[in-house]
Amino acid sequence: MCDPNDPQVVAVVEKFKAKYNETPPDIGYFMETWDATNVLVHIFKTMIEKGIPLERKELRDAMEKYSGGVPLLTPMPRKSPAWAKQPHIMIRAEDFLPMVTKDGQYVKY
């Protein structure tokens, strides 16, 4: 749930409109997804900068260490809480992020 008139939200929605010629059907959900994606991008960038392998076990630990403090466009908090401190918009990576496939099947975690 976000303010659809917030200038930052309007800017993101306008980018979406320009690319897809339509407005997201549920702006609140769209912005929560936008924020979650930006948190993941921040985690991946941090992992790469620190030379941490992009593997599932490393991602789980990186989510705990590096998910906090990313600016969010959804209301409160205005920055992402660290994943390990309280419930977060993302669930545990090991539960839903299959990072490796082999012969079209997910490799066991």
Give mean pLDDT, residues 40-55. Answer: 92
Cβ contacts of residue 55 below 8 Å, gap of 6+?
99
Q: What is the mean pLDDT of residues 56-81?
A: 82
Indicate if the pLDDT at residue 42 is higher than 90: yes
pLDDT at 81 (0 to 100): 74
Residue 90 has pLDDT above 80, yes or no: no
Instruction: Determine the pLDDT at residue 107.
Output: 63
pLDDT at 11 exceeding the cut of 70: yes
Prior bond to 77 cis, omega within 30?
A: yes
Mean predicted confidence (pLDDT) in 70-83: 78
**Residue-averaged pLDDT of the chain:** 79
Question: What is the per-residue pLDDT for 27?
Answer: 86
Q: At residue 46, does pLDDT exceed 90?
A: yes
Q: Quick one: pLDDT at residue 100?
A: 62
What residue ranges do the domains of the chain occupy?
7-106
Tell the residue number behind the tokens 């539960």, with chain if given.
Answer: 95
Alpha carbon of 56 to those of 46, 71, 95: distances in Å?
A: 15, 24, 10
CA dist., res. 52 & res. 5, Å (int): 39
